[in-house]
Structure 1
Amino acid sequence: MSEISLDEWLSGRDFTFWSNGYHKIDPAQFFDLWAEGKAVLLDVRTPEEQRFLALPFAMAIPLHELPQRWQEIPRDVLVATFCSGGDRSNVAFTYLRSKGFDNVRIFKGTYAELTAELMPGKLRKYLEKRQSA
């Protein structure tokens, strides 16, 4: 998909689009894809937030840097946008969709849901799967 204006993109997003939930991804679904090398977590939190809680498996591009750095984001895997509360990940999702990213979703959850998937047993499963991918 090529770049389109935000007006054009929003005009095509009716009740069907927003009600089917396809624009979001559950943490477990994300980590299954990540383990297969088919997804990347785009962390759009600020550098200050990233210093307090680093996510070494994520691609860190603060939301305010996204207009200058969006070309760094891979297009050949699913991109899940993440922030601590959800607002910035929604903005990043919309921005990337307007830039022609078809395979982008909003990470459905905050720190609690993210860290639940990083408990030792689950993390071991994901890491073993990633090593064999």
Structure 2
Amino acid sequence: MDSFAEILKDMDFEFFATGQYGMGAEEARALIGNDHFIFLDVRADEEVKYLSFPFAKHIPLRELPERLGELPRDKFIIPFCATAFRAAMAFAFLLSHGYLEVKGLNVGSDAFAAVLKPGALYNLEKAGAGLAR
């Protein structure tokens, strides 16, 4: 049986009920600048032209199979997209390829951008977290 089928078999009621697959925007915002976490923007190039996240690694979902080597296995990967749908696909794909620390952002990029207000970003910068990746 392939690894993707095994991942799907593990996605039972408890898996979804306990939120093991994802995190919310506020929880994710608190992780910006933490070197152990990589935000993975899986939106298309066209989308990134209009709304970009400078702290995120951008790999469009359709390119992820060929560019998988760009993602370290010793980091926690947080895929996100415009609606959380592609993030969920990236989540399952990464798990099926042996990435152990993965959670998808369970809100779209617009909701994520909404929590990145000047006050929150200023506090991250002041704390020395930095936003550049």
Query: Could you say whether these structures have the same fold, taking a TM-score greater than 0.5 normalized by the shorter chain as the test?
Result: yes
Q: Report Cα offsets for 1:32-84 as digits up to 9, x if no partner.
A: 22233221110000011111112211100000000101121122222111110
Instruction: Give the whole-Å Cα distance in 1 for the aligned partners of 2:10 and 2:106.
Output: 22
**Structure 1: stretches of 5+ with no match in the other structure:** none
TM-score w.r.t. the length of structure 1 is 0.87
**Residue in structure 2 matched with residue 24 of structure 1 by the alignment:** 22
Is the CA contact (8 Å cut-off) linking 1:27 and 1:117 kept in structure 2?
yes
**Structure 2: stretches of 5+ with no match in the other structure:** none
Instruction: Give the whole-Å Cα distance in 2 for the aligned partners of 1:56 and 1:90.
Output: 21
Instruction: Give the whole-Å Cα distance in 2 for the aligned partners of 1:17 and 1:52.
Output: 34
Instruction: Give the whole-Å Cα distance in 2 for the aligned partners of 1:110 and 1:41.
Output: 13
Alpha-carbon shift at residue 111 of structure 1 (Å): 3.1
**Residue in structure 2 matched with residue 116 of structure 1 by the alignment:** 114
Instruction: Give the whole-Å Cα distance in 1 for the aligned partners of 2:79 and 2:51.
Output: 16
**Residue in structure 2 matched with residue 38 of structure 1 by the alignment:** 36
Q: 2:96 aligns with which of 87, 91, 98?
A: 98
Is the CA contact (8 Å cut-off) linking 2:33 and 2:55 kept in structure 1?
no
TM-score w.r.t. the length of structure 2 is 0.87
Structure number with higher helix proportion: 1
Q: 1:56 aligns with which of 54, 57, 68?
A: 54
Aligned length: 128
Instruction: Give the whole-Å Cα distance in 2 for the aligned partners of 1:21 and 1:51.
Output: 31
**Residue in structure 1 matched with residue 124 of structure 2 by the alignment:** 126
Does residue 80 (structure 1) correspond to residue 78 (structure 2)? The answer is yes
